[in-house]
Amino acid sequence: MPDDFEAMWSELAPLGRSAASGGYFRQPFTSVESELRSWFREQCAARELPVEADGNGNLLAWWGAGSDAVLVGSHLDSVLDGGAYDGPLGVVSSLAAIDLLRSRGVAPRRPVAVGAFAEEEGSRFGLACLGSRLASGTTTPESARELRDRDGVPLLDAMAAAGVEPSLGRADWLDRIGCFLELHVEQGRDLVDRERVVGLATEIWPHGRYRFDFTGDANHAGTTRMEDRHDPMLSFAMTALAAGKQARVSGQRATFGRVDVAPNGTNAIPSRVTAWLDARGETDESLVRLVAEIKRQGTERSGRDGTRLEVTSESVSGAVSFDPVLTAGVRSRLADRWGDVPVIPTMAGHDAGILAAAGVPTAMMFVRNPTGVSHSPEEFAEMADCLAGVEALADAIEGLVS
Amino acid sequence: MPDDFEAMWSELAPLGRSAASGGYFRQPFTSVESELRSWFREQCAARELPVEADGNGNLLAWWGAGSDAVLVGSHLDSVLDGGAYDGPLGVVSSLAAIDLLRSRGVAPRRPVAVGAFAEEEGSRFGLACLGSRLASGTTTPESARELRDRDGVPLLDAMAAAGVEPSLGRADWLDRIGCFLELHVEQGRDLVDRERVVGLATEIWPHGRYRFDFTGDANHAGTTRMEDRHDPMLSFAMTALAAGKQARVSGQRATFGRVDVAPNGTNAIPSRVTAWLDARGETDESLVRLVAEIKRQGTERSGRDGTRLEVTSESVSGAVSFDPVLTAGVRSRLADRWGDVPVIPTMAGHDAGILAAAGVPTAMMFVRNPTGVSHSPEEFAEMADCLAGVEALADAIEGLVS
């Protein structure tokens, strides 16, 4: 008898948890993430679900074989100091849903696959949804081979060190998938405000990551007159404030959450400040306008400071609409037990967005998050809501495989 | 025959040099700095100058024994990605000056000591002039034992790992010193503007290091509405701009050159931004006013952002006036060969400032810096000026020991 949801959740709880913050550090191809992968393989073995590794770091467990499969699942990795739910909730709920379907005596007419995608957060190699991008051909193996982590370790070396045999590129499992339904903790308060436990997604906002390199002239912090400086920290500071203000007035999102300073010494004016902008817009056009305006203000300030600003797009994902037919079908199937399930947009990127853009009919299901907080140790969902999510996911799968 | 100045300079040139930037990384008690210390010991051995280690990481080489010694020298460590001259120029010039005095046949009536002080820059343990502070009793052994580097390595462990037997506390060599004359590359353009090769210092501006901890709430960079955020990066950005502006309008100095962000992920609003303020003021009162105003503006912005700001003074050094009698004596001795030597203030801290505050009659001599740049790979002095500095230092010492 495989573990039930609560037992699985308890097993995962200590893996990669920081005692200091209570947050999780589950970066891909680290020893912690290897433990998570082993745990996934063991759970699948206990359920007699054969596991397929695709050479991009993704794992798929199969209930039944053949084509036109219903893919469920999510990812196991976290952001730096992230929460327990973003990713793992979808994987654990999928395994528990299979248990539930089996206990209901469901004999699926289509195969069901549970996916655990690699580096969804991009927290180590900087490119979010790396596993699903490679498997779907959205990112080429050539460009992925250039990726390095903050310590300069190349992707392929990191994979090999974690015992993952790399064979990057479009995965043939893609041809055996009929649709993808990703369950995820909600990253907002829509459901709690509506007093609903589960919801479905309409679309993903366009979003991107942009590297801002501000370069100036290192010099002594004491002896250099203020008017003689070319201090890139000041250019960055103004740009960060401009980003916050532009996003606020336009109802969009802009964040500088990562900064790297050189030489980063207290008594030296920096020679370089590199900061990464995470930006999200309601439409592709509004995202372009937002980033262009932030860049314009940063460049103007750099001109005044005598510093230089170079902006590089590291990844940009266009707007994604989930499959209306699949979503309507799931919604109608859920109506009996769950009533009129809300359909809401998401500003976060997901593997579901990558596969949807690659042509897989895709839908997303959300489980209520009482605070709306995610990417933080504070991320949370009530156990009762998680269990309800398992049931809703099982209902949805049953509708698709019956 | 010991090496001459140019040979010594060439030997030091490759130690700790970054091929990427051309700058130097000579942090205390690293393998590179151990090489510098060994090099100093070898040079002293070749000159038959016995070397005394004081248990605080400082080395003193003695030409003659007894009390009322003339101390010269400086330090060998650098800031992160610093220049070749700040520190080593004073040590190498002191050894070369002894060679020159010997070749002149000078038989000193007082001992001459060459000091190489530890962690002058505070680039590893955060407390500038750590070696001279400990030796003079300005910093207690108890508080120094609490110091850790960025990787959490305690000072004592770092010293022991570098083969330096730690025995922290006031050094007895202090009682054998009659005066201290530190030669240093100028960190400004006073001498180049006056077309002079050497100068003397009047005073050191009061200065300090202050840690600004901005704490907020980590959350998802995409899903969290701008108006729901408590983003410490914005509070820091406004504070950095305020610091630059306040220093500019008051003719003082304020720099945020070092920043540490947690969790430092692209798609997460930070939970904490820690930034170190380096501030220098014309008087003790104006420094206090400058820091208080920066803190006030930072606190006000934090209030608006829903973040919290805590400010901790890590080290504050009051105004230091160099000894007017010693300085006048050196100036008059130099007049024959060097004319009317300019006397200028410095905004940088030095071991000379620590020993002056501890009661040692102290003077500083500067060598021209054509660009005024320091704490940077661009730091430079012409070889002809360095050699002139050696001669001026020898002249000054000769005046003091005759």
Domain end (from B266, B301, B317): B317
Residues A222, B280: C-beta atoms closer than 8 Å:
yes
| pLDDT exceeds cutoff 80 at B1 | no
Searching chain A, which residue's CA lies closest to the CA of residue B216? A376
Out of A226, A240, A253, whose CB is closest to B221?
A253
**pLDDT confidence of B3, banded at 50, 70, 90?**
low
Same domain, A312 and A325: no
List of chain A residues with pLDDT < 70: 1-3
Q: Which of A238, A264, A374 sits opposite B258 (nearest CB)?
A: A264
The number of distinct structural domains making up chain A is 2
Q: What is the ipTM of this complex?
A: 0.87
Distance (Å) of CA B71 to CA A272, B91, B359, B400: 38, 11, 14, 11
Task: State whether B229 and B95 are in the same domain.
Answer: no
Find, among B296, B99, B280, B304, the residue nearest to B207 by Cα. Answer: B280
> Mean pLDDT across the stretch B267-290?
96
Q: Are residues A47 and A168 in the same domain?
A: yes
CATH of the domain at A231: 3.30.70.360
Chosen domain end from B253, B285, B317: B317
For B260, counting Cβ atoms within 10 Å of its Cβ (0-12 exposed, 13-18 middle, 19+ buried), the class is middle
Burial zone of A384 (CB within 10 Å; 0-12 exposed, 13-18 middle, 19+ buried):
exposed
Chain B positions in Cβ-Cβ contact with residue A280 (cut-off 8 Å) = 221-222
> How do A51-53 and A198-204 pair as beta strands?
unpaired
Task: Identify the pLDDT of residue B183.
Answer: 98
Chain B, 271 to 300: residues with Cβ < 8 Å from chain A are: 271, 276, 278, 280
Lowest-confidence range among A1-5, A234-238, B302-306, B377-381?
A1-5
Report the pLDDT value the prediction gives residue A346, as an integer from 0 to 100. Answer: 87
Model confidence at B125: pLDDT above 60: yes
**Distance from B81 to chain A by nearest Cα, in Å?**
6
If asked whether residues B118 and B228 sit together in one domain, one would say: no
Question: Whole domain around residue A48: which residue ranges?
Answer: 2-205+319-401
Tell me: do A373 and A230 sit in the same domain. Answer: no
**Count of beta carbons in the 10 Å neighbourhood of residue A324:** 12
Find out whether B203 and B277 touch, Cβ atoms under 8 Å.
no
Clarify whether residues B294 and B359 are in a common domain.
no
- Selected for mutation to probe chain B from A255, A261, A282 (highest B CB count within 10 Å) is A255
Residues B199 and B226 in one domain: no
Cross-chain residue pair B267–A81, CB shorter than 8 Å: no
B135 with B215, same domain: the answer is no
Query: Is B46 in the same domain as B193?
Result: yes
Contact check, Cβ <8 Å, A267/B121: yes
CATH number at residue A350: 3.40.630.10
| Strands of B217-332, DSSP E | 219-220, 253-262, 268-269, 272-280, 308-317, 320-321
pLDDT digit string, tens, across residues B23-41: 999 999 999 999 999 999 9
Give yes or no: residues A85 and A218 share one domain.
no
Residues in chain A: 402
B223 → closest Cβ in A218, A263, A347 = A347
- Domain identity same for A335 and A195: yes
Nearest CA in chain B to A272: B257
Domain endpoint, select from B292, B317, B342: B317
Cα–Cα distance between A210 and B148 in angstroms, integer? 34
Give the per-residue pLDDT at A347: 87
Q: What is the mean pLDDT of chain B?
A: 96
Alpha-carbon Rg for chain A, nearest whole angstrom, is: 22
Q: Are B151 and B230 members of one domain?
A: no
